[in-house]
Amino acid sequence: MFDKAKLYSTFYRHGLNLWPCIRRTGGRVVVLSPDFRHLVVRLKLNWSTRNVVGTIFGGSMYASTDPFYMLMLMQVLGTKYVVWDKGCTIRFKKPAKKTLFAEFKITDEMLQSVLEIVARDGRTNFTWTVQYKDQDGVVYAEFDKLMYVATKEYYKNRSSQPES
């Protein structure tokens, strides 16, 4: 049987991997669920991600994780909401000489919390954490992604820029 959601997520994943600003990070989206609530990025150590000391460049780590929670939320929430990626705090734990994986998940609880606050206040800022790990589960870096979500109505009434 034809699964429209799976086909759409497959094309979306391939499109992300071809998009120059993502492709040039060295990261590749290797998993994207049909509901856009689970995504995995793989980052290999190679000539384009290697820094001067022979480990994965921190900029490649950050850039290859940058847009995904925002893009996922835009798909999950739909057109009635505005979603912005506002910032990130990075903690590098150890130098990486192995292939790393970042797993992005939007659980029912995460989504419900955001929707409840937005329903009450019109907007919210929140932080979700993602980690780069090797296949053995060793953490090499953590990224606290600061996100903004508002209803389109609230956003239009406030301004054209995200709130602080």
**Of 11-15, 16-20, 117-121, 152-156, which has the strongest mean pLDDT?**
117-121
Q: CATH number of the domain at 89, please.
A: 3.10.129.10
pLDDT in tens, 56-113: 999 999 999 999 999 999 999 999 999 999 999 999 999 999 999 999 999 999 999 9
Q: Identify which of 28, 9, 8 has the alpha carbon closest to the alpha carbon of residue 18.
A: 28
Give dist(CA 123, CA 77) in Å, integer: 13
Whether residue 163 lies inside any domain: the answer is no
Q: Strands of 81-92's sheet, edge to edge? A: 27-32, 38-43, 100-105, 123-133, 139-151, 81-92
**Residue type present at position 121:** D
Domain count, the chain: 1
Give the pTM: 0.91
Whether residue 150 lies inside any domain: the answer is yes
Whether residue 164 lies inside any domain: the answer is no
Domain that holds residue 38: 4-158
Identify the pLDDT of residue 115. Answer: 98
Q: Greatest CA span in the chain, whole angstroms?
A: 51
Whether residue 129 lies inside any domain: the answer is yes
Identify the pLDDT of residue 21. Answer: 86
Give dist(CA 139, CA 67) in Å, integer: 20
